[in-house]
Amino acid sequence: MLESSIGFIGGGNMARSLIGGLIAGGSDPRHLWVAEPNPDQRDFLRSQFQLQVSADNTEIAAQVDTLVLAVKPQVLPQVARRLAPLIQARQPLVISIAAGVREPDLRTWLGGGSLALVRTMPNTPALVGSAASALFANPFVSDRQRQQAESLLRAVGMTVWVEDERLLDTVTALSGSGPAYFFLLMEALEQAGVAQGLDAATARLLTLQTAFGAAKMALESAESPAALRARVTSPGGTTERAVATLRDGGLESLLARALDAARQRAQELGDLLGGQS
């Protein structure tokens, strides 16, 4: 991580994951700050990470070079407006991990002008250091600030940049909501195994290890998922029949519809939150 002071507004699961990843990667806890209203959560953060904590958002924002907004989207307008005078005076890099909150709306709540803002959409595997995060930077973000934002998100997984903010709605549908799709598939496979006679523990273990193994193969291979699938699908074999059944049932079109539905909902939520400007 590029050396700078980082403050988190909100100390929930995603903030804790990022903080843990930063410290595991060598960041000095003395350069990390968290504003959290819940006193029990503040005590937990202080004891677990030995960092600076406060109940006051402005106290944290006054100390740091990079400010991470990690509060629920519904409360972000209020939080941002209260921080606006300080943000305008100090001009830190602001990173938002609030789903659906668009850059023009956030910049308006923070007082407008040429604020350096990065929007990012990490997903829940950040909790185990395996996130897939997409980032979007507005035109006022410098090259150094882009590196800072990318380094922060890389502490919990892999990162990609998108140059069109609208694509974050697709990212939300694909990787943001994506873990739930795989959990649903694992749930269905586990239930099918039990229905055919396996005990629940065995069905679960086989399902989870198969999902892990397939993902690991895909990550470590230069081949596409389509090529990997073809390589394990022997003509006339069991896999070929199972894949044909899935395709006959419209699996691919169903997934495309699911992603489109999620993308549309992300757009609707962005419109709703933007209406609070």
> What is the pLDDT, as a whole number, of residue 276?
67
Q: Tens of pLDDT along the chain (277 residues)?
A: 446 899 999 999 999 999 999 999 899 999 999 999 999 999 999 999 999 999 999 999 999 999 999 999 999 999 999 999 999 999 999 999 998 899 999 999 999 999 999 999 899 999 899 999 999 999 999 999 999 999 999 999 999 999 999 999 999 999 999 999 999 999 999 999 999 999 999 999 999 999 999 999 999 999 999 999 999 999 999 999 999 999 999 999 999 999 999 999 999 988 988 876 5
Residues 6+ apart with CB under 8 A from 120: 95, 96, 97, 133, 134, 135, 136, 149, 153
- Is residue 241 packed enough to be buried (19+ CB in 10 Å), middle (13-18) or exposed (0-12)? exposed
State whether CATH 3.50.50.60 applies to domain 6-170.
no
Number of other residues whose CB lies within 10 A of the CB of residue 76: 23
Angle at 273 (CA atoms; ends 267, 275), nearest 5 degrees = 105
Domain positions in the chain are: 6-170, 178-267
pLDDT (0 to 100) of residue 15: 94
pLDDT number for residue 3: 61
Place of tokens 């595997």: 125
- What pLDDT does residue 274 have? 85
Question: Looking up tokens 């998100």, which residue turns up?
Answer: 153
The DSSP result for 249-271, as a single string, is TTHHHHHHHHHHHHHHHHHHHHH
Does the fold of domain 178-267 match that of domain 6-170? no
As a CATH number, domain 178-267 is 1.10.3730.10
